[in-house]
Amino acid sequence: MKKKSLLTFGSVLAFVLFVVPGIANTGSDTTPEFFFTRLIYGSGNGPARTPKVDIRCEDLAAGEGGTRYGGGWATDFPASDCKFMWGVERLTGIRVFDKAPHVVSALDPELSSYPYLYIVEPSRMYLTDEEAKSLREYLLRGGFVHIDDFWGLRQRAAVEEELSKIFPDRPPVKLDLKHEVFHTFFDVNQVMQIPNVSNGCNGGRTWESADETEPMIFGISDDNNRLMALITYNSDLGDAWEWMDNPCYPEMYSGQAYRMGINFIVYAMSH
C-alpha cells in the first residue's frame, strides 16, 4: 500500500514537473514570497562575491541537468534549483520565485532579505571569519540553512570545522524522526539515503564513502530549540531534485527528496 502511494505520488510529481512546467508559476501578480537561495562560497581564496547569474528557468532544456558553473557552490546548478521550485510551487501554497535560480553570498547586504539558504557540497566551502560572523548573525536573527551533499568522515570533519566557525558552541545534533521538521507538510517516517544520479541510476550502493555510509540528518538549534541549520549528511537531495526527470533515477529517491525539501521549507517558514 505504501509503495503504491509512493508510486502514485511520484507519477503525479513527474507529470507536474515535466509535462506542465510551462504553466508552473507563482499564480500571483505580487512579488514572490519565497526565494530558494543558494549560498555562494569560496574555497580559500577570500570571501565570495555574489556573481551575476543571467539564467531563466524556462530556458532549461528538457531533461537538462549538469553543472553549467562547475562544482562547489554551483553543483547541480541551476537545474536542481529550478526543478525543485517548480515542485514546491505546484505542491504547496507557497508563492515561490521560480523564474530563475537565486544566489547570494554571505557578505551580500541583501542576505537578510532571504531567510532560507541552501548550501551544497559544503566540504569544499571555506568561510572567512567575516563570512562566518555574517552567517551566525543571519541565523540568530531567524534565518535558516539547509546543508546538503557531503559524504564520509573526511568530508564530515571538514564541514564540522566550517560550521564551528559559525557556531563554536553549537555542534550539530543528530535529529530523530519525531522532530517537527519531518512532519510540517508530509510525514517523513524514514531517513532514506538519497544517492547521487550515478549511484541512483546504477542501482547499486547508494553511499559514496565507505568509512561511514549511514545517512544522517543533523540540526543546529537556537536557544528556543528552533532549527537554524539542517544538515543532510550522506545524502544528495540536490541530485534527486535535479534528476527527477531522468528515467533511470528511481522515483522513491526523488519523491523522498521532494518531500524532505518541502518539509524543510515549510518548517523554515513557520518556526
Partner 1 sequence: MNLFEFFFKYRPIVYQKGHLSFQLLGSSWLFIPLALVAVAVAFYFYQRVAREKLSPWMIVLRSAVFIILLFMVLQPVLNVSQVLPQDSYMAVVVDTSESMNIKDDGQTSRKDLMLKKIEETKFFQELSKKFKVRLFEFNQEARRIEATEEMRFNGDRTRMEAATDLLQQEMGTLPLTGVVLFGDGVDNASQEFMKSLNALERRPVPFYTVGVGTEAITRDAEVIRVAAPREMLKDSTAVVDVQFKSSGLVGTKAVIDVRENGTFTKTHDVTLPPDGQVGEVSIDVPVKNEGNQIFSFTIRVPEDRIAENNVLDSLVTVRDDHPKLLYVEGEPRWEYKYSRRAIADDPNLVMESLLRSSQNKFYRQGIQDQNTLEDGFPKKKEDLFAYSGILLGSIESTFFSPEQLQMMVDFVRERGGGFLMMGGKNSFSSGKYQNTSIADMLPVELLPDRALPVIDKVKLALTDYGRTHNLMRLSDNPATNSKIWGQLPPLEDFNRVGDAKPGGVVLARGEPENSGGDPILLAFQRYGRGRTMVFTTGSSWHWQMEMDHEDQTHELFWKQMLRWLVSASPAQVSITTDKDTYLPGELVNITADVSDKEFKRLNNARVTAKLSGPNGLSETLPMDWGGGQDGTYSTQVTAATKEGTYQLEVEAMQGTEKVGTYKAAFQIKDRPVEFYDASLDAGNLRSIASQTGGRYYPLDKIADIPEDAVYVDVANSFVEQKELWDIPILFMMLCALLAGEWVWRKRRGLA
Q: Which residue from 140, 173, 177, 210 is in contact with partner 1, where contact means CB under 8 A?
A: 140
Three-state DSSP at 171 gives coil
Q: How far apart (Å, rounded) are the C-alpha atoms in residues 151 and 235?
A: 7
Q: d(Cα 31, Cα 263) in Å, to the nearest integer?
A: 22
DSSP calls for 20-77: SGGG-S-SSSS--SB--EEEE--BSSS---PPP----GGGSPTT--S-TT-SGGGTTT
- Residue 137 or 211: the one with the smaller Cβ distance to partner 1 is 137
Judged by CB under 8 A, the chain residues 100 through 119 that form the site for partner 1 are 112-113, 115
Rule CB under 8 A: is residue 94 a binding residue for partner 1? Answer: yes
Chosen residue from 143, 200, 219, 261 binding partner 1 by CB under 8 A: 143
The least distance separating partner 1 from the CB of residue 27, rounded to whole angstroms, comes to 10
Using the rule CB under 8 A, which residue among 80, 105, 184, 234 binds partner 1?
A: 184
Does residue 269 bind partner 1 (CB under 8 A)? yes
Binding-residue total with partner 1 (CB under 8 A): 30
**What count of residues does the chain have?**
271
* Smallest distance from partner 1 to CB 111, Å: 9
Residue 75 and residue 67 in contact, taking contact as beta carbons nearer than 8 Å: yes
Of 56-64, 72-80, 240-248, 262-270, the window that binds partner 1 (rule: CB under 8 A) is 262-270
Alpha helices in the chain (DSSP H): 2-14, 79-91, 129-141, 152-166, 197-202, 237-242, 251-268
Q: Quick check: 31 binds partner 1 (CB under 8 A)?
A: yes
Q: Is 142 in the site for partner 1 (CB under 8 A)?
A: yes
Question: What are the angstrom distances between the C-alpha of 102 and each of 39, 78, 152, 157, 208?
Answer: 9, 9, 29, 28, 28
**Contacting positions for partner 1 (CB under 8 A):** 28-31, 33-34, 91-95, 112-113, 115, 137-138, 140-143, 184-185, 224, 226, 265-266, 268-271
